[in-house]
Amino acid sequence: MRILVTNDDGIHSDGLWHLAEALSTVGEVSVVAPDRDQSGVAASLTLTSVLRVQEVRSRLDGVVVNAVQGTPGDCVILAIESILDAPPDLIVSGVNRGANLGHDVLISGTVGAAAHGYMKGFTSMAVSARYGKGDARYAVAARAAAAVARALKEAPLDVPQLINLNVPDLDAEDIRGVELTRLGPRAFVERVTKGRDGTRTHYWIAEDRILDIAPEGTDLGAMREGAISISSLDFGFSEGAHAAPLHYLVEAVLADLGIHSNS
Ligand code: MN
């Protein structure tokens, strides 16, 4: 099994290396990752400048590592289209420092990288470790990701999936289960600090955690219970599952523009 590993925390993040090491027990790993922290860039691409790529020293024997002066999405596209000798069987992004939950998946570069893999037709997984005091427990999250990769290797999916894996801030023996979840509401709220330098105003956006809204059955609920969360993020692109309540909007546009619908 060929596995492409990327992340959004950058090539020097310990989470990336824990993940690459754990996945090396499952398949042949190649790393293509941003050369610096790209957290919060979502699925953005670099379209207005060249992308410089450099092969860098690997912390793991037999794992080729390319550092990209670009976004996580750039990394996945360059890897698939040009850098890798053969297409991957699986793309794994992480281990991110901090959980990626609920509606905040739309901001996450970790999820953004996996989304590009998924859009190109590959089963792709974002892996994130919640953390409190001290550093994230990357090793536990990496082991969970390797377990998923091994299961996918033994029983491949019929249709590619975009998987979001979040691991609570607990030792493996203290984790209280593994739940298949749907996305919850927002996990974070922004805090904006305003200041003055000379004649100008500056702002600083920081994300503060609010984990108190954690409905049962959601990824946030699983974190609160101390369980690992696995969500499928199809975003409803193919199913249109949540479109029915919006039919009145169709009627409104039809009416206002005087369009005569065929249906
Ligand atoms: Mn990150």
- List, for residues 75-97, the tens digit of each pLDDT value: 999 999 999 999 999 999 999 99
Rounded to whole angstroms, the Cα distance separating 235 from 115 reads: 10
Rounded to whole angstroms, the Cα distance separating 57 from 50 reads: 23
* CA geometry: angle 34, 115, 15, nearest 5 deg: 45
For range 22-40, the mean pLDDT: 97
Whether 181 is in a domain gets the answer: yes
For range 200-223, the mean pLDDT: 87
For residue 85, what pLDDT is reported?
A: 96
CA 70 to ligand 1 centroid distance, Å:
14
CA 39 to ligand 1 centroid distance, Å:
4
CA 37 to ligand 1 centroid distance, Å:
7
Evaluated on CA atoms 164, 99, 235, 94, the torsion sign reads negative
Whether 196 is in a domain gets the answer: yes
pLDDT band for 237, please (50, 70, 90 cuts). Answer: low
Instruction: Say yes or no to pLDDT of 255 above 80.
Output: yes
242-251 — which CB contacts under 8 Å span 24+ positions? none
CA 128 to ligand 1 centroid distance, Å:
8
Instruction: Say yes or no to pLDDT of 124 above 90.
Output: yes
- pTM comes to 0.91
For residue 18, what pLDDT is reported?
A: 98
- The DSSP code for 11 is T
CA 261 to ligand 1 centroid distance, Å:
46
Cα 103–chain centre separation: 12
Q: Which of 145, 153, 4 has the alpha carbon at shortest distance from 86?
A: 4
Whether 263 is in a domain gets the answer: no
CA 8 to ligand 1 centroid distance, Å:
5
Which DSSP string do the residues of 150-189 spell out, in sequence order? Answer: HHHHHS--SS--EEEEEE-SS-GGG---EEEEB--S-SEE
Q: Where are the alpha helices (DSSP H) in the chain?
A: 14-23, 72-78, 109-119, 138-154, 219-225, 247-257
For residue 208, what pLDDT is reported?
A: 78
For residue 135, what pLDDT is reported?
A: 83
CA 118 to ligand 1 centroid distance, Å:
19
- What's the total number of domains in the chain? 1
More confident residue, 196 or 209: 196
CA 41 to ligand 1 centroid distance, Å:
9
Instruction: Say yes or no to pLDDT of 239 above 90.
Output: no
**At 74, is the secondary structure helix, strand, or coil?**
helix
Residues 6+ apart with CB under 8 A from 256: none
Whether 190 is in a domain gets the answer: yes
Q: Which of 55-64, 199-208, 253-262 has the lowest mean pLDDT?
A: 253-262
Instruction: Say yes or no to pLDDT of 238 above 60.
Output: no
Q: Which of 98-107, 161-170, 207-216, 223-232 has the lowest mean pLDDT?
A: 207-216
* Strands 188-197 and 124-129, sheet pairing: unpaired
Round the average pLDDT of the chain to a whole number and report it: 91
For range 165-194, the mean pLDDT: 91
Residues 6+ apart with CB under 8 A from 167: 95, 127, 128, 129, 130, 137, 140, 141, 144, 175, 228
**What's the domain range around 95?**
2-257
For residue 207, what pLDDT is reported?
A: 82
For residue 25, what pLDDT is reported?
A: 96
Whether 145 is in a domain gets the answer: yes
For residue 108, what pLDDT is reported?
A: 96
**CATH code assigned at 54:** 3.40.1210.10
Amino acid making up residue 41: V
Whether 161 is in a domain gets the answer: yes
* Strands 200-209 and 188-197, sheet pairing: antiparallel
Whether 262 is in a domain gets the answer: no
Which DSSP string do the residues of 184-219 spell out, in sequence order? Answer: -S-SEEEEEEEEEETTEEEEEEEEEE--S---TTBH
For residue 263, what pLDDT is reported?
A: 57
Instruction: Say yes or no to pLDDT of 218 above 70.
Output: yes
For range 150-175, the mean pLDDT: 92
- The span from the first CA to the last CA of the chain, in angstroms, equals 47
104 strand-pairing partners:
none
